[in-house]
Amino acid sequence: MNTLRTFAVTSLLLAASVDVAFAATTPGQPTQKGTAGEFLVVGDSVVSSQQLFLGAENMVYVVDKVENNPAQINGHPAYASAFDLDSNTARPMDIITNAFCAGGNVMGDGTWLNVGGNQAVTYGGLQAESQNGGGPYDDPDGRNSLRTLKPCSDDKCDWEIVGDMTTQRWYPTVETLPDGTLIILGGCQNGGYVNDRYQDNPTYEFFPSKGAPVHSNILATTLPVNLYPLTWLLPSGKILVQSNYDTVLLDHETGDEKPLDKMPDAVRTYPASAGTIMLPLTPANNFTATVLFCGGTNLQSEQWVTSWPIVEYGASTSCQKISPDVSPSYTPDDPLPVARSMANFIFMPDGKIFCVNGAETGTAGYGNDTWAIGQSYADKPVLLPTIYDPEAAAGKRWSSAGLKASTIPRMYHSSATLLPDGSILVSGSNPNADYNVGEGIAYPTEYRTEKFFPSYYNERRPEPQGIPDSIAYGGDAFEITLDKEDLFGDVKKVESAKVVIIRTGFSTHSMNMGQRYVELESTYYGYQSNTTAVLHVNQLPPNPSVLAPGPALLFVIVNGVPSVGVQIMVGNGKVGEQETKEYASLPSSNIFGSSGSSGNSNNDSEDGNPDAAISLSHKLMATYILLLVSLVQFGL
């Protein structure tokens, strides 16, 4: 019995700040060796990577369902681990209760929450006799559990149970709110391939708790495929919720749900499990959110609840996107080159999207049906990744040019995340009720963990100086300096420089909850005489709904080559309302000492004196106009 394992002390959570160093550092070069365009098996995750997230610059945390993993901790199999990116080794961790198909996300102070899960189980994933621990797996019921982790760069941090939710949630989604608290949406009580009305939990609640769960109409009306609803906090402060064929804008403060258009072509929620992502929020698109959905499965509700050889049914190639703060309608985008269920969409620092994992037929889920492949409900794993370029012309956005396939099928219960060095960690796959390895098993429990190395991986990385340890919502701009090597020996390369913040998110079930890419506004001064440059970089817009507070990675990209990412804190590092300030205006870009005009630089500064340049600049007026527009647009 382990009844004392559960502490109902939510207040503990807010007491201490997170023990990760957020230092103003100059990033160096990657230490991992790899070949551009290829995967490399780098290590063993020790437990199967059903869920994972980058918690510290050098540490990925892995969460598995309860099963018979050979690695032991505290006298029972381990169901979690920490994968050290420097040594590529994992240490088993104790996550205490059964986090099977849990949700997760990060708070404004850097604390990660892992929430919900399944009842206690024994061999074969069958229900355990005791729900309080004991038995072979010693895994108390996790359906209400609120588990937190304050990540660390060593082995000194662990999961703890900080209390219970008011209701049971298996397959919940978690979204970070503008004050750094969390909203927890949906789920069911007992699990299964799809949901049903006897166990549905069509509500949302908050962490820290704001009381009883709130009923959600879209969750109540989109059975049976309303598990792990697809959600994004929008710059308007509303939350986009997509479930089965329905879409709404949720106002989480009033409970109002405004219906948007029906999702065309396919179901995107689990177990259809499309690849989904909010495209980059940039100054060029005025930080307007567009969400992309690709793949999934074209089935009607009644087709999910009868047993038929779904494993042979082709997945969808359809891509659709929506800009919910602007229009209620979906518009088609370039289809996937290969149909996929269970694709993971992962941001690369250059703003392109890496699409990895998944299967050409079938869906997520597993069972002992005669038609399953082993227990897998999916087949024809897609091994060749493909990349989506949001900047490319329509018809040309997808490409697998220069990419080599993986050799490891990664389907149900696989996951992926961007790493600071710009590689992508890919792990998991386990369409099995329990740990299942050995000869003749088509899709075993997979521990092998790969890194994928994008085209830029072995380029000399920029080593920008002046990266701050936190980014605010408006206020003074800051400067980042680039030297000759960072500019590839050519001052004009500064024209391509951008500064971006990426939240890598909580990866599970083809979702990366909270994943987001925001480009900061920046201008430059380039100096021809000594081939150096200064970037003038704005803080985030004065609106925490553009990027909720909490830790994220900052990258500087020059000539398409990203620096190694530095972990910074977005906001004040605390849970609570965030201060917003006026958005600064930046001096116009200029290359001093150049003989011809370049880019959008002006031509009145042959003396290389930036101050003279500003005072003379015809663009000064434009800057003031920009400032005015900014003030208006953020309602100041």
Judge whether 502 and 512 are in contact, CB under 8 Å. no
Distance CA 574, CA 577 (A): 9
Find which of Cu ion, ligand NAG, none residue 72 binds, CB within 5 to 8 Å per kind: none
Lookup: tokens for 517: 């890419």
Residue 368 binds ligand NAG, judged by CB under 6 A: yes
Pair type for strands 590-592 and 511-513: unpaired
Find which of ligand NAG, Cu ion, none residue 235 binds, CB within 5 to 8 Å per kind: ligand NAG
The residue range among 51-59, 122-130, 419-427, 464-472 that interacts with ligand NAG, by the rule CB under 6 A, is 122-130
The residue to which tokens 């209400």 are assigned = 144
Residue 80 binds Cu ion, judged by CB under 5 A: no
Residue 126 binds ligand NAG, judged by CB under 6 A: yes
Residue number, 181 or 594, with CB nearest to ligand NAG: 594
Name the burial class of residue 627, with classes exposed (0-12), middle (13-18) and buried (19+) by CB atoms within 10 angstroms of its CB: middle
* CA angle (484 as vertex; 478, 489 as ends), nearest 5: 130
Lookup: tokens for 129: 């006799």
Three-state secondary-structure class, residue 8: coil
Residue number, 101 or 152, with CB nearest to Cu ion: 101
Closest contact distance (angstroms) between CB of 370 and ligand NAG is: 12
Judge whether 429 and 448 are in contact, CB under 8 Å. no
Closest contact distance (angstroms) between CB of 227 and Cu ion is: 9
Closest contact distance (angstroms) between CB of 12 and Cu ion is: 29
Closest contact distance (angstroms) between CB of 101 and ligand NAG is: 15
Nearest CA-CA partner of 277 in 416, 425, 456, 113: 416
Residue 333: in which H helix or E strand, if any? strand 330-333
CA distances from 616 to 525, 529, 600 (A): 15, 21, 15
Closest contact distance (angstroms) between CB of 620 and ligand NAG is: 16
Q: Which residue of this chain has its Cβ atom nearest to Cu ion in the complex?
A: 101
Q: Which residue of this chain has its Cβ atom nearest to ligand NAG in the complex?
A: 124
Find which of Cu ion, ligand NAG, none residue 101 binds, CB within 5 to 8 Å per kind: Cu ion
* Mask for 209-248, x = binds ligand NAG (CB under 6 A): --------------------------x-------------
Residue number, 270 or 525, with CB nearest to Cu ion: 270
- Answer whether the bond into residue 610 is a cis peptide, omega within 30°: no
Residue 608 binds ligand NAG, judged by CB under 6 A: yes
Residue 286 binds ligand NAG, judged by CB under 6 A: yes
Neighbours of 134 (CB within 10 A): 16
Nearest CA-CA partner of 454 in 355, 337, 553: 355
Closest contact distance (angstroms) between CB of 197 and ligand NAG is: 22
Residue number, 139 or 434, with CB nearest to ligand NAG: 434
Count of residues that bind Cu ion according to CB under 5 A: 1
CA distances from 347 to 83, 113, 143, 251, 513 (A): 20, 22, 31, 27, 13
Distance of alpha carbon 137 from the chain centroid: 30
Judge whether 151 and 174 are in contact, CB under 8 Å. no
* Mask for 398-437, x = binds ligand NAG (CB under 6 A): -----------------------------------xx---
Find which of Cu ion, ligand NAG, none residue 11 binds, CB within 5 to 8 Å per kind: none
The residue range among 17-25, 150-158, 178-186, 522-530 that interacts with ligand NAG, by the rule CB under 6 A, is 522-530
Distance CA 61, CA 39 (A): 20
Find which of Cu ion, ligand NAG, none residue 603 binds, CB within 5 to 8 Å per kind: ligand NAG
Residue 530 binds ligand NAG, judged by CB under 6 A: yes
Find which of ligand NAG, Cu ion, none residue 529 binds, CB within 5 to 8 Å per kind: ligand NAG
Length of the chain: 636
Per CB under 5 A, the list member of 80, 101, 272, 424 interacting with Cu ion is: 101
Which residues, other chains included, contact 449 with Cβ-Cβ below 8 Å and sequence gap of 6+? 41, 42, 43, 44, 45, 49, 83, 88, 425, 426, 427
Closest contact distance (angstroms) between CB of 436 and ligand NAG is: 8
Judge whether 561 and 456 are in contact, CB under 8 Å. yes
Closest contact distance (angstroms) between CB of 170 and ligand NAG is: 15
Residue number, 3 or 370, with CB nearest to ligand NAG: 370
Find which of ligand NAG, Cu ion, none residue 104 binds, CB within 5 to 8 Å per kind: none
Count of residues that bind ligand NAG according to CB under 6 A: 16
The phi-psi region of residue 272 (left if phi > 0; otherwise alpha if psi is between -120 and 50; otherwise beta) is alpha
Judge whether 205 and 165 are in contact, CB under 8 Å. yes
Find which of ligand NAG, Cu ion, none residue 433 binds, CB within 5 to 8 Å per kind: ligand NAG
The residue range among 56-64, 130-138, 199-207, 523-531 that interacts with ligand NAG, by the rule CB under 6 A, is 523-531
Distance CA 103, CA 182 (A): 11
Distance CA 6, CA 396 (A): 53
Residue number, 166 or 597, with CB nearest to ligand NAG: 597
Which residues, other chains included, contact 4 with Cβ-Cβ below 8 Å and sequence gap of 6+? none
Find which of Cu ion, ligand NAG, none residue 532 binds, CB within 5 to 8 Å per kind: ligand NAG
Neighbours of 236 (CB within 10 A): 16
Closest contact distance (angstroms) between CB of 306 and ligand NAG is: 17
Distance CA 468, CA 482 (A): 15
Find which of Cu ion, ligand NAG, none residue 621 binds, CB within 5 to 8 Å per kind: none
The residue range among 93-101, 185-193, 253-261, 398-406 that interacts with Cu ion, by the rule CB under 5 A, is 93-101
Residue number, 283 or 337, with CB nearest to ligand NAG: 283
Find which of Cu ion, ligand NAG, none residue 286 binds, CB within 5 to 8 Å per kind: ligand NAG
Residue number, 399 or 481, with CB nearest to ligand NAG: 481
Pair type for strands 590-592 and 522-527: parallel
Residue type, 37: G
Residue 29 binds ligand NAG, judged by CB under 6 A: no
Three-state secondary-structure class, residue 195: coil
Lookup: tokens for 462: 């920029």
The residue range among 120-128, 259-267, 271-279, 345-353 that interacts with ligand NAG, by the rule CB under 6 A, is 120-128
Which residues, other chains included, contact 246 with Cβ-Cβ below 8 Å and sequence gap of 6+? 218, 221, 222, 259, 262, 263
Residue 529 binds ligand NAG, judged by CB under 6 A: yes
Residue 603 binds ligand NAG, judged by CB under 6 A: yes
* Residues in touch with ligand NAG (CB under 6 A): 124-126, 235, 286, 368, 433-434, 527, 529-530, 532, 597, 603, 608, 633
Residues found near Cu ion in the complex (CB under 5 A): 101
